[in-house]
Amino acid sequence: MKTKTSRTQGSRYYPKRYDADPATRDAILDEGLVCHVAFNIDNQPFIIPTSYCRVDNTLYLHGSVGSHFFMQMAKGIPVCVTVTLVDGLVLARSVFHHSMNYRSVVAFGKTRMVEDEQERWLAAEKFAEHIMPGRWADARQPDKSEMKKTMFVAVEIEEASVKFRAHGVMDDDEDLQLDVWAGVLPLRLSPLTPQPDEAGKSGLPLPEYVREYRR
Give the CA angle between residues 141, 27, 100 to the nearest 5°: 115
Residue 215 lies in a domain: no
Q: What is the pLDDT of residues 116-139, one digit of tens each?
A: 999 999 999 999 999 999 999 999
Give the structural domain span for 127: 15-171
Q: What is the mean pLDDT of residues 5-29?
A: 81
208 occurs within a structural domain? no
Type of residue found at 39? F
pLDDT at residue 207, as a whole number: 97
Q: What are the DSSP E strand ranges found in the chain? A: 34-41, 44-55, 58-64, 78-91, 99-113, 150-165, 183-186
The residue length of the chain stands at 215
Number of domains in the chain: 1
Q: The CATH number of the domain where 108 resides is what?
A: 2.30.110.10
Mean pLDDT of the chain: 94
Question: Does a structural domain hold residue 185?
Answer: no
Q: With respect to residue 186, please indicate whether it lies within any of the assigned structural domains.
A: no
pTM of the model: 0.91
Is 92 within a domain?
A: yes
Q: What is the pLDDT of residue 16?
A: 77
Using an 8 Å Cβ cutoff, are 162 and 24 in contact? yes
pLDDT of 98 above 70: yes
Give yes or no for residue 1 having a pLDDT over 60: no
**CA end-to-end span of the chain:** 27
In a domain, 183, yes or no: no
How confident is the model over 7-13, as a mean pLDDT? 68
